[in-house]
Structure 1
């Protein structure tokens, strides 16, 4: 075996995930369910970072707590840090400056890139857990246009209240219907939607349902983190040479 270099304690998991402090169930597809990922990840809970505090208040008030737990992930051996709430886009710059390594704080960071893939006359729409709380500051911090069409889950059967109020029991079938309804409303109420970004990481389990209901490409924190990890730990491809005979 060739000479190996060290410097870490734990190897093989390049992505560290900063988690809000919650008690609600997390099904496969959710960022907080470890079976979601086709690669190993590290987790760290940020004490006191409730969904209500991060979404309905100002996440920047918890800047230092997020930096502290992110540094713990780096010490564990992570080469890149992500978070489990799209509203944490406002901490993107603070985290990457404090850590000195790649950070992807919000699924909203994909909006600008996705827009470049769409044909003329088409634009990206966003589904969020709370349209009322998603401000220009969140969009600006993610590099998303301030006129990005946004649809929230307020007024639905279950999704909005269940996650923001951190319910211990959730009707996921009702959540699925909420997501499909919100996606259809986004497309119905805004001309030219060519792709959808799911702001909330709890929406990922319903990406396929949204795709089927709208016929549009659906991006999420899952698509962002898998792209992010692919660069931190590139796949090694077997070299096959043509047989010269």
Structure 2
């Protein structure tokens, strides 16, 4: 038997996820539901980092807590770091400097790449949980081109209210309706859209519904981190025997 070398506290979970301190339900497809992932993940909750504080208050005063939590995950043995809020793009540079593994803070980091996939004259739009507080700084930190169309679930009945209010109950069908209607409104206002990128990591459960009603490709944190993990731990393909 070959010798192996230790050094990690946790084995088999290559992706470490920095979690907001929240209690709202996390259904399958949500980044915070471990059953969403086709591979093991390792979570670390950043205490006092509430949805309201991160999304509506710019995560003020929380950088050190996120850096400490990221370092703890690396110490446990993860090979890459992500977060469960697209608004944490603000911390991309600082977190990447603080740890020796790749960092992908935000689904927004996909926008520029998705634009390169589209036909001339087409571009990606962003669907966010809070259009009123998604600033130019958030977008620039993720490399999102200026003038990218932005849609939001803020005007809906359930999704933004329940998530940002950190409610203990979520009406999933109303949340689905909010996401679909917000996406349709954005596509109607911007006929040049060729794809949609979901900023919010809680929008994953509704990606298929959004794609169905808009007829557009939809990119979420789920596909982004699945791609990320595939680079951290590439599949091994052995030659056929014989």
Aligned length: 242
- Structure 1 segment 15-164 matched on structure 2, within 5 A: 15-164=15-164
1:170-221 deviation line (CA, Å, top 9, x unaligned): 1000000111101101100113100000000000000000010011000011
Give the whole-Å Cα distance in 1 for the aligned partners of 2:146 and 2:99.
Answer: 28
Question: 8 Å contact 2:80–2:232 — kept in the other structure?
Answer: yes
RMSD: 1.0
TM-score of the superposed pair, with normalisation by structure 1: 0.96
Give the whole-Å Cα distance in 1 for the aligned partners of 2:39 and 2:153.
Answer: 30
State the 4+ residue runs in structure 1 displaced beyond 6 angstroms.
none
SS at structure 2 position matched to 1:59 = coil
5+ residue gaps in structure 2? Answer: none
Question: 8 Å contact 1:60–1:90 — kept in the other structure?
Answer: no
Higher mean alpha-carbon deviation, 54-63 vs 91-100, is at 54-63
SS at structure 2 position matched to 1:116 = helix
Question: 8 Å contact 2:74–2:101 — kept in the other structure?
Answer: no
1:10-60 deviation line (CA, Å, top 9, x unaligned): 211110000000011100000110100000010000000000000001225
> What's the CA shift for 1:238?
3.0
5+ residue gaps in structure 1? Answer: none
TM-score of the superposed pair, with normalisation by structure 2: 0.98
SS at structure 2 position matched to 1:91 = helix
Give the whole-Å Cα distance in 2 for the aligned partners of 1:186 and 1:113.
Answer: 20
> What's the CA shift for 1:100?
2.3
> What's the CA shift for 1:2?
2.5
